[in-house]
Amino acid sequence: MTRVGFVGLGNIGKPMALRLAAADDIELSVYDVAPDPVAELAAAGAKPAASVAELAVGADVVCVMVRDDEQVRSVARDVGTGPVLVVHSTVAPGTPAELAAAGLTVLDAPVSGGPMAAADGSLAIMVGGAAEAFSAARPALETMGSKVVHAGPLGAGTRMKLARNLIHFVAFTAVTEAQRLAEAAGLDLRELGEVVRHTDAITGGPGAIMHRETTAPLEPGDFWHGVFDHVRALGEKDLGFAIELAEELGVDVPLAREALPRLGKGLGL
């Protein structure tokens, strides 16, 4: 049995903890300032704790999914130096090392996939930290996620999550730009959204180009040179047409204008 404490039973933390509560090889204790999710976890078989300090006593691993860095620091102070502290919150790049400098054994293990993936155990969990600590936390991590990546030393999980979310939120901003263009063109935005989600589920969306181990320029004989040269040709053509349409309709599309000259170079061409 792996003895796990879980702190922070919010929209993502609660379904993560429920996955742990249902596991045969996990003995789970939980804590949250809100009583209702604690009661729900208790009904699912977890042991409620009256405080973080109480939860940490005897735990092998304490998982933390709270709002921000300051809350993480507060929990860490009460956990102390006994268990492996697994920080699932997305924190500043320097926070994991700061916690380790205080004498704690820390894994930074932010997650991706949202509440739906948390509920069905299909989260991606990106982990930074020592191999021994990762091994201790692995049973809990693999109960909560179907894609658990040991990204490297302490801090690597956070850096990977920030890189992943850079894609996420820049893409969201691009979507708002595309919506303005579509709206000006008289299109149904909900139908456009359905098309985008449908095709991204097939192609992989922006992640479809992420197969190389480096961002260095491509040699002409490289397999990916031909693939990405085709991507560039299509992309530059369609971006050009989209910018022309935006000019015709009077829509500002700064991201499209930035992408047009940067696409080929970014692909390594």
Domain assignment of residue 173, yes or no: no
CA distances from 88 to 110, 202, 227, 246 (A): 4, 29, 36, 41
33 part of a folded domain: yes
Residue 197 covered by a domain: no
Residue 54: both structure tokens together: 């109480």
Nearest of 99, 87, 170 to residue 125 by alpha carbon:
87
Q: Are 6 and 59 in contact (CB under 8 A)?
A: no
- The CATH code of the domain that includes 76 is 3.40.50.720
Residue 247 structural domain: 211-269
Q: Which residue has the tokens 């949202």?
A: 114
User: How many angstroms separate the CA atoms of 126 and 151, rounded?
Assistant: 6
Q: Are residues 151 and 223 in the same domain?
A: no
Answer with the one of 160, 177, 203 that is the final residue of a domain.
Answer: 160
Choose one of 160, 192, 223: the last residue of a domain.
160
The pLDDT value given to residue 194:
98
The whole-number pLDDT of residue 168 equals 94
Q: Of 135, 160, 185, at which residue does a domain stop?
A: 160
For residue range 233-259, what is the model confidence (pLDDT) as tens digits?
A: 999 999 999 999 999 999 999 999 999
Grade residue 119 by pLDDT with cuts at 50, 70 and 90.
Answer: very high
Q: Is the domain of 141 the same as that of 264? A: no
- Contacts by 214-218 with C-beta closer than 8 Å and gap 24+? 215/266, 215/268, 216/268, 217/268, 217/269, 218/267, 218/268, 218/269
- Tell me the C-alpha distance between 53 and 211, whole Å: 44
- Cα 257 to chain center, whole Å? 28
Please, which pLDDT band fits residue 178 given cuts at 50, 70 and 90? Answer: very high
CATH number for the domain spanning 228: value is 1.10.1040.10
Model pLDDT for residues 24-40, shown as the tens digit of each residue = 999 999 999 999 999 99
Neighbours of 203 (CB within 10 A): 10
pLDDT tens digits along 196-226: 999 999 999 999 999 999 999 999 999 999 9
- Annotated catalytic sites, by residue? 161
Q: What integer best gives the mean pLDDT of the chain?
A: 97
d(CA 215, CA 27): 44
Q: What is the pLDDT of residue 225?
A: 96
In a domain, 149, yes or no: yes
Is the domain of 79 the same as that of 141? yes
For residue 115, what pLDDT is reported? 96
Structural domain total, the chain: 2
- Asked if residue 180 belongs to a domain, the reply is no
